A and B are shown apart, each in its own frame.
Chain A
Amino acid sequence: MTRLLITKTPKCYVGGAFIRSESGRVAPLHDASGAFFANIPQCTRKDLRNAVEAAAKAGPGWAKRSAFNRGQILYRLAEMMEARSGELTEAVALGGTSKAEASREVAASIERVVHYAGWTDKYEQILGSVNPVASTHFNFTVTEPMGIIGVIAPDDSPLLALVSLILPAITSGNCVVALASSTQPYPSILLGEMLATSDLPGGVVNLLTGLRSEMLPTFATHEHLRALSVAVNAADRKTLKLGAAESVKRVNLLKAEEPIDWFSDKRQGVEEIRALIEFKTTWHPVGA
């Protein structure tokens, strides 16, 4: 008699815990051949608000971690992903991409995490400055994380795009509430499990699955999301910008309707970090 396999109930990773949607809703996910794969939580606006709350609790602690410590934790995430890269490849391939292509995406995602792990204690020296003002002040500009960043991943490249949007945000000490690809959410479920074992404090990254159209208006208007880093279509960009105006929210919007080469080295780096930080300038007196 063959042994009946234990299937996994996919859960979202919010506040360091694995949750199902407060609504109890799920949506069936099928593989490329059309066979049933699993039921994916269909999160709601309420789940989004809960996730923002979890991020708000985690934020100050994460921002206070030393840059070296953040770097080690991000590197640990890469270690966790590498160890389960086979599983991640299967998850990416669910959507119909070839195993080879899926494997390439997983490898690029891991490289991206390592890339940002190396930035945690360096971006400040590139972006910040000591400013030679004309008066007797020690004037310097440092970066600070913005706070909680809303991330909305595009449908394509479900792992690499998600990782590329999340990593620059948390590198500088922000927290993230992310909505995974609506059509290929499963890689984000696995990513949550890897985040949970990476020493990243719970609540720093919160991953939701569900319908973009349902949650978009809340991403736009939730005042505790201080910035949005998303890849969405033109109509959604307009919705997000209109909502963002209400609390002068920062927006970093990529066009999902145009091809985005997520594999490119131009999709990573200090400019992506710069988009999600604030600059603070201090005038410190000089004197005995």
Chain B
Amino acid sequence: MPKTFSKTNPARELVFGDLWEFDPAPETADPKLKKRYDLFINGSFVPPRAEQYFATINPAHETKIADIALADASDVDVACKAAQKAFTGVWGKMPGKERGKYLYRIARLLQDHAREFAIAETLDGGKPIKESRDFDIPMAAAHFFYHAGWADKLEHLAPGRQVAPHGVVGQVIPWNFPLLMLAWKIAPALAAGNCVVLKPAETTSITALKFGEICQEAGLPNGVVNIVSGATETGAAVIQHPLTMKVAFTGSTEVGKSIMRSLAGTDKKLTMELGGKAANIVFDDAPLDQAVEGIVNGIFFNQGHVCCAGSRLLVQESIADEVLAKLKRRIAVLRVGDPMDKNTDLGAINSREQLTKITELVKSGVMEGAEKYDTGCKLPAKGFFFRPTIFTNVSMSHRIAREEIFGPVLGILTFRTPEEAVEKANNTPYGLSAGVWTDKGSRILKMSTLLKAGVVWANTYNKFDPTSPFGGYKESGFGREGGKQGLLEYLKVA
């Protein structure tokens, strides 16, 4: 049997040159956006007390979409008090099966409005419509549906012990999966019987505030969910408010540490879902074409704005050239551009600030001696875009191998033995996730045991499920989200 690939006999590929192009396939449904979004407090949309608003823009065009209310400490105070009142008056004493029915309603309503939410998410955040439509929104609804069923079964979570909700939970979420992160936070909190004050990320508030409309439509009692949009100070007010007994944060490790410091003098219970620098490890017996798809999905999904992104590719030395060649061919056909186009693979970078950070880290990679490759594809004239980029000749000491880039930038390292792969994979302060590609089931289990990471994907990457606990080791945070382990974080155990 001739080998299908060697250096002298490369695999054949389809070369079309510029013979044909995709026609634009824009998504055109109406996202039903408002010109101005107020705070969602105690069941109503209310203007911020200081009457301050900020603009949210479409990162693909740099055009303004809407004005978003900027909550200050006094608005947050009102929200926390509303949540406390809802907790003691209604939600905390409601039988679990009734609470569950509200969550089921929310799940169904999110499904009803799925397309509208997907478009809003893409317009506001820049992610490709195919991802918001096929991943973010359905998965957000799935989280509510999953947790709905837990609401009347909480006693099964801690056998032999009594469980009780914390009361008011303060939650601060990032901009990479705006509605999905909201669902990861709010669904378990409500199922457990808590009330919520949630602060969405500054650049992606729209779907969170639209979620307020869903709460209204579901008839959720006033104050059970409160959404306070704003900036860093708003988030600080939420987590530091004396009424928030539990704080759940998803974001960077740097901010996570500062939150931990700021709450050191309190008894608040914390969960932290922080940064990552995941290794995606490809062994020489891996199904390579599948692995290449996984590498692409691992780092270019959501423009690489993923805390568990497979940003360090570890390839066994014997297949490194072959994998690199296949990878280059694959990324050559990735489509970068209008997030609203159904064929787009990589949409817009979420903000100018993030684009600057990615650009700066990529520069450092070049300066430190790594070899940069990108496809040179055309980028739209306006908006924040970055080409899918891969670095070879990366060493473990390079900044691009140590720091979270949070963009479509992959660093490639090689290894010879499984031990070396484990050593390199674990040589980071982070420990959120890892990928393993091999044909051997026993090797998957062994590698999974040795990798210091909270989630290990074998022959797949960036898979999520409401039933599957997600969260990190080491400086990637503590606590889990999803599954029974995640839900228990929202309960006091006595």
Contact = CB atoms under 8 A, between A and B. Distances in A.
Real binding pair: yes
Interface residues of A, number: 33
A270 interface: yes
A6 interface: no
Given A131-B468, A242-B261, A250-B478, A284 B445 contact: yes
A222 interface: no
A247 B463 CA distance: 28
A133 B158 contact: no
Contacts of B459: 285
B272 A281 contact: no
A242 B264 CA distance: 6
A13 B142 CA distance: 52
Nearest to B441: A284
A256 B474 CA distance: 27
Contacts of B469: 129, 131, 141, 279, 281
A281 B456 contact: yes
Interface string B474-487: 11111010011100
Contacts of A280: 448, 453-456, 473
Interface string B425-459: 00001000000000001001100100001111111
Nearest to A227: B478
Contact of A248 (B274, B457, B467): B274
B483 A141 contact: yes
A129 B160 CA distance: 18
B460 interface: yes
**Interface majority SS on A: helix, strand, loop or mixed?**
mixed
Contacts of B476: 248
Nearest to A132: B467
A134 interface: yes
B267 to A, nearest CB: 8
Nearest to B485: A279
B283 to A, nearest CB: 14
B158 A248 contact: no
B301 to A, nearest CB: 15
A241 B260 contact: yes
Given A248-B260, A248-B478, A281 B253 contact: no
A93 interface: no
A213 to B, nearest CB: 18
Nearest to A136: B460
Contact of A283 (B161, B264, B457, B473): B457
A190 to B, nearest CB: 32
Contact of B460 (A126, A241, A266, A283): A283
B494 interface: yes
A281 B455 CA distance: 5
Contact size range, B:
35 or more
B159 A283 contact: no
A238 B264 contact: yes
A248 B465 contact: no
B256 interface: yes
Contacts of A133: 463, 465, 467-468
B486 to A, nearest CB: 9
B236 to A, nearest CB: 15
Contacts of B104: none
Interface in A234-288: 238, 241-242, 244-248, 250, 266, 269-271, 278-285
A135 B463 contact: yes
A218 B394 CA distance: 35
A137 B465 CA distance: 11
A183 interface: no
A269 B161 contact: yes
A126 B474 CA distance: 24
Contact of A126 (B142, B159, B465, B494): B159
Given A129-B483, A244-B260, A279-B485, A139 B253 contact: no
B454 A279 contact: yes
Contacts of A241: 260-261, 263-265
A284 B430 CA distance: 22
Contacts of A248: 253, 256-257, 260, 272, 274, 474-478
Nearest to A245: B260
Given A270-B159, A279-B485, A285-B459, A139 B467 contact: yes
Nearest to A265: B160
**Which of the listed residues A137, A139, A242, A283 has the most CB atoms from chain B within 10 Å of its own CB?**
A283
Contacts of B465: 131, 133-135, 139
A122 to B, nearest CB: 11
Contact of B257 (A245, A282, A283, A285): A245
A131 B481 CA distance: 13
B476 to A, nearest CB: 8
B50 interface: no
Contacts of B484: 129
B78 interface: no
Contacts of B388: none
A137 B454 contact: no
Interface string A118-156: 000000001101011111010101000000000000000
Contacts of B211: none
A139 B465 CA distance: 10
A33 to B, nearest CB: 40
Nearest to A126: B159
B87 interface: no
Nearest to A143: B485
B470 interface: yes
A245 B463 contact: no
B174 interface: no
5 closest Cβ pairs, A-B complex: A245-B260, A241-B264, A133-B465, A131-B467, A245-B261
22 contacts: A129-B484, A137-B460, A139-B465, A139-B467, A238-B265, A241-B263, A245-B257, A248-B257, A248-B272, A248-B474, A248-B476, A248-B477, A250-B478, A269-B160, A271-B161, A281-B456, A281-B468, A281-B469, A282-B455, A282-B458, A283-B457, A284-B448
Interface of B: 142, 158-161, 253, 256-258, 260-261, 263-265, 272, 274, 429, 441, 444-445, 448, 453-460, 463, 465, 467-471, 473-478, 480, 483-485, 493-494
Given A129-B469, A282-B445, 14 more contacts: A133-B463, A133-B468, A135-B460, A241-B264, A242-B261, A247-B474, A270-B159, A278-B473, A279-B454, A279-B485, A282-B455, A283-B460, A284-B441, A285-B460
